[in-house]
């Protein structure tokens, strides 16, 4: 096949070079966006009189035929044509002859690929935002259904204070909301038209970039033709946002792994979302959660890959930038699959209310409540903290729980302590008392649920 740049070359491209430089094996997924952008470009060329309206119509008709052929698997891709752009253009020329040869007027593959990636990312980011919303709603349903489940809250992976399990899950909804907002914000920078920048310097032809932007639904056009073809910061921003999102998913996955272990035994994962062992018949492994945790490393690696690729490139376009697509596509696929599988798995988890509740009341988890009880009795907090620490030490030495101490034992540590202390040391009482805004009290958690329901409509 004749190369689009063949006029300047005497020798044919080596077959090993064709194989080494091709990207059609992975960028073919951009075909829909390449055709969409080319149709808009052809309309603009015809409207501006750069090509005839007849040629413009023939190009558009030919591109629509190619789209149907690709959809039905009848279009033949060739790695000799390197990429999706040249494959589609070659197919168009076969169908339309001279008209097809005019499509590439006033554009370059440099601005064409930047356009395709922006169109692709725009769609995918919208889908990811929708999946985040769906997952938030799943978490909200679980939180509302389990509003009475108490569990230990942790710091340093040590039992700290009792909390409602719902409150714990709502924390992830808040994280996901920030993730969603980051992607929404990234869309503003993705949704800018680069087409018309050509190779790097623009064109002498009277193109109308604003018209193309309108056809393609872009909010604006790039203002510097060199910048438009030479940077991928919009894609890097997406990858960075993806890294934060999957970090949050990985943290949740890690907790599911811990909670499903015999050591915690807080939850039972559904059979349909676990696997067994090839040698140990009793095993039920949290493979889905483990793979989410593992795939997080891939997403981080994809970000570093593109950052590293870009860090030393002089302006403007360099072929290195072809390497942006594999990490970008992989990140999109990974994020979507993780969000979808979690949204399916979580509603099927069985939460072991009694075990979680018992654990919440152990390890002197209401010690802070005693300190705050003393503060209410006008004891300075630092003194209250020390007094409570001595009470806990006494309990440990005497192998007693707080509720097992007599009032006389309590009074050994502070005369400010009265019988009403017993209404502060149960996990249930501790939770009910945490009425500060955003706290774990049922009244506050219900407010949070109500607010988040409105937010995620």
Task: Tell me the catalytic residues.
Answer: 156, 277
Distance (Å, rounded) from C-alpha 407 to C-alpha 395?
13
Q: Chain centroid to CA 109: how far?
A: 29
Residue where the block lists tokens 């590293």: 308
Strands 192-193 and 220-221: parallel
Q: Are the C-beta atoms of 46 and 84 separated by less than 8 Å?
A: no
Query: Which tokens hold the place of 457?
Result: 């409509």
Residues 6 or more apart whose CB falls under 8 angstroms from that of 60 comprise: 39, 42, 43
Q: Are the C-beta atoms of 59 and 103 separated by less than 8 Å?
A: yes
What's the N-to-C CA distance of the chain in angstroms? 53
Selection from 95, 106, 103, 118 nearest residue 33 by Cα: 118
Q: Are the C-beta atoms of 75 and 24 separated by less than 8 Å?
A: no
Q: Are the C-beta atoms of 133 and 183 separated by less than 8 Å?
A: no
CA gyration radius, the chain: 31
Selection from 398, 393, 403 nearest residue 366 by Cα: 403
Tell me the β-bridge partners of 268.
350
Q: Are the C-beta atoms of 26 and 329 separated by less than 8 Å?
A: yes
């Amino acid at each position: 096949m004749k190369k689009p740049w063949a006029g300047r070359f005497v020798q044919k491209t080596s077959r090993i070079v064709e194989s080494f430089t091709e990207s059609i094996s992975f960028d073919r997924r951009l075909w829909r966006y390449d055709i969409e952008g080319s149709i808009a470009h052809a309309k603009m060329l015809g409207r501006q009189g750069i090509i005839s309206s007849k040629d413009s119509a023939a190009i558009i008709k030919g591109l629509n035929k190619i789209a149907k052929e690709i959809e039905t698997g009848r279009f033949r891709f060739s790695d000799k044509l390197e990429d999706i752009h040249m494959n589609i253009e070659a197919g168009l020329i076969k169908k339309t002859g001279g008209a097809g040869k005019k499509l590439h007027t006033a554009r370059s593959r440099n601005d064409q690929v930047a356009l395709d990636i922006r169109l692709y990312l725009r769609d995918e980011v919208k889908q990811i935002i929708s999946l985040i919303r769906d997952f938030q709603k799943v978490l909200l349903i679980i939180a509302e259904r389990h509003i009475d489940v108490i569990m230990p809250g942790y710091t340093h992976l040590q039992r700290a204070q009792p909390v409602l399990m719902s409150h714990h899950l709502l924390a992830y909804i808040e994280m996901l909301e920030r993730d969603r907002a980051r992607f929404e914000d990234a869309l503003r920078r993705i949704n800018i038209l680069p087409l018309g920048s050509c190779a790097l310097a623009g064109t002498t032809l009277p193109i109308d970039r604003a018209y193309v932007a309108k056809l393609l639904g872009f909010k604006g056009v790039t203002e510097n033709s060199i910048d438009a073809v030479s940077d991928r910061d919009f894609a890097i921003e997406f990858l960075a946002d993806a890294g934060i999102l999957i970090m949050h998913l990985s943290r949740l996955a890690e907790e599911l792994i811990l909670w499903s272990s015999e050591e915690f035994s807080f939850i039972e994962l559904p059979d349909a979302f676990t696997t067994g062992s090839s040698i140990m018949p009793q095993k039920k492994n949290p493979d889905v959660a483990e793979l989410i945790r593992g795939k997080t490393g891939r997403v981080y690696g994809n970000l570093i890959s593109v950052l590293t690729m870009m860090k030393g490139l002089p302006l403007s376009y360099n072929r290195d930038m072809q390497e942006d697509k594999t990490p970008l596509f992989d990140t999109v696929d990974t994020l979507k699959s993780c969000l979808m599988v979690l949204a399916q798995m979580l509603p099927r988890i069985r939460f072991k209310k009694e075990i979680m509740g018992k654990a919440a009341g152990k390890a002197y988890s209401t010690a802070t409540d005693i300190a705050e009880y003393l503060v209410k009795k006008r004891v300075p907090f630092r003194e209250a903290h020390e007094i409570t620490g001595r009470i806990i030490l006494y309990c440990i030495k005497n192998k007693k729980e707080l509720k097992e101490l007599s009032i006389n034992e309590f009074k050994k540590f502070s005369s400010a302590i009265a019988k009403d202390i017993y209404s502060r040391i149960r996990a249930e009482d501790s939770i009910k008392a945490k009425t500060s805004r955003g706290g774990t009290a049922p009244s506050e958690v219900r407010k949070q649920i109500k607010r988040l329901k409105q937010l995620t409509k």
